[in-house]
Amino acid sequence: MVSGYRSQGYNFDITNSTAYDQAFVYGRAVYESISRIVDEIFNEYVRRQGQTAPYFTSFCNGTTTTCSGLSQWGTVTLAQQGRTPLQILRAYYPDDVEIAETDIIANVPSSYPGTPLRLGSTGLDVQTIQTYLNRIRKNYPAIPLITDAAGTFGDSTRAAVTKFQSIFRLAADGIVGKATWYKISQLYTGVTRLAELDSEGTNLGIGTVPPSSVLRQGSRGADVITLQYLLDLIAEFYPGIPGVIQDGIFGEATRQSVIAFQQTKGLVPDGVVGTGTWRALYEAYRGIEDYVPQPGPGTDSGVIEYTVRSGDTLWLLAQRYGTTVAEIQRLNNLTGDMLNIGQVLKIPAGQTNAYFEYTVRPGDTLWLLGQRFGTTADAIKKLNGLTGDMLNVGQVLRIPS
């Protein structure tokens, strides 16, 4: 098919015919023209000001499909009004997003490096796993803190890997093979909400010295992002403090979180972040970084503590942790289904499903999914009750973990 753009006054045609161009298919050779274009544009990405992690963006046509992101026809309208790409992005996302450029192009960190990591291994892949596990342990405190030097697979890294494997029903050998690598990556994505618009991201400049700015409702910018990052992290350990979205805008929700923090620390609850509140925030943050949670009663027998967040239900928690509503109710002496934000629940751990869910994308095949996730096509077919190899885009599959 050739769309007749030349007949409309343009100097090009758009086709899907191999007589004119080549469509990229996963697993096939990369064409030189595609490689050249990727080299030119791959080092630009969208992020929030003050963060290094890419900002989660999505795109849909806005008619047959909709999403929490850019709309094909909506962006066309904005472009026709003369708006720049950055102005178009900010029309859909927070005002502090920016287009960043990096000269560091490396393998995707969450892709399995190809060889197992074990005691004595060194390098960026080891550092990636250490970073992931130290973050995961905030939600699974039975995992011991990694104290080895960054990028060095020592005894504490092996201990953390072994405990992670035992919790998630993997072979507890302390070696990061393909199955363990992808399970750690999956859990890290889940606990940091990387696939959501309010993801934690990776913040720049937390450092050891608080900002000198005084922030209040209406403030904007990178210092507000730092404040929101600190509040959101601290909220995980202080149930009375509500988490906030890191959008760089000091709104009412951020003000209420600041007031709750000030009340917790015995400060004047005025909702203004001055020198005293900044200092208290940093002290709390450093305390969390240095704190090694001691396993509470029942932790070793498979019980963790979970702080209820907005949108949680008993059914969702039961699905997430591979247990039942009745078991959560029993552990917490609950007589109904009502949950309160900030409520601390005991959740049976170590019972997570031996699979995770995956939504089929264009180009996926059973064989490719088996290779990607360290399993086999037959295992995926058996788990999903499939009788053939046909997959449909959007189909949800259970993948053995």
How many whole angstroms separate alpha carbon 369 and alpha carbon 388?
15
Q: Is the pLDDT of residue 2 over 50?
A: no
Asked whether the beta carbons of 103 and 155 are under 8 A apart, the reply is: no
Q: What one-letter code names the amino acid at 295?
A: P
Q: Which helix (H) or strand (E) holds 46?
A: strand 44-48
Q: How far apart are CA 389 and CA 330, in angstroms?
A: 42
The pLDDT tens digits for 351-397 are 445 566 777 777 778 887 777 666 788 888 877 778 888 888 778 88
For residue 333, what are the contacts with CB-CB under 8 A and spacing of at least 6?
Answer: none
User: One-letter amino acid identity for 220?
Assistant: R
- Whole-number Å distance between alpha carbons of 126 and 116: 10
pTM: 0.35
Mean pLDDT of the chain: 74
Contacts for 64 with CB less than 8 Å, ≥ 6 apart: none
pLDDT score for 338: 83
* Closest to 351 (Cα-Cα) out of 306, 316, 320: 320
Could you give the CA distance from residue 401 to residue 399 in angstroms, rounded to a whole number?
A: 6
Position 241 scores a pLDDT of 87
Strands 70-71, 59-60: pairing is parallel
Q: What pLDDT does 128 receive?
A: 83
More confidently predicted of 255 and 312 = 255
Handedness of CA 162, 166, 168, 173 (dihedral sign): positive
pLDDT tens figures, 276-328: 999 898 888 766 544 333 333 334 446 777 777 766 778 777 766 667 788 88
Calpha distance 50→202 (Å, rounded): 9
Contact between 70 and 92 (Cβ < 8 Å): yes
Residue 46 has φ and ψ, to the nearest 5°, of -95, 135
Q: Which of 380, 375, 372 is nearest to 112 (CA)?
A: 372
Is residue 232 within 8 Å of residue 240, measured between CB atoms?
no
Map residue 234 onto helix, strand or coil: helix
| Structure confidence by residue, pLDDT tens digits, 71-130 | 777 888 888 888 888 888 888 888 777 877 654 444 333 456 778 899 999 887 888 899
Integer angstrom CA distances of residue 196 from 57, 274, 388: 9, 31, 33
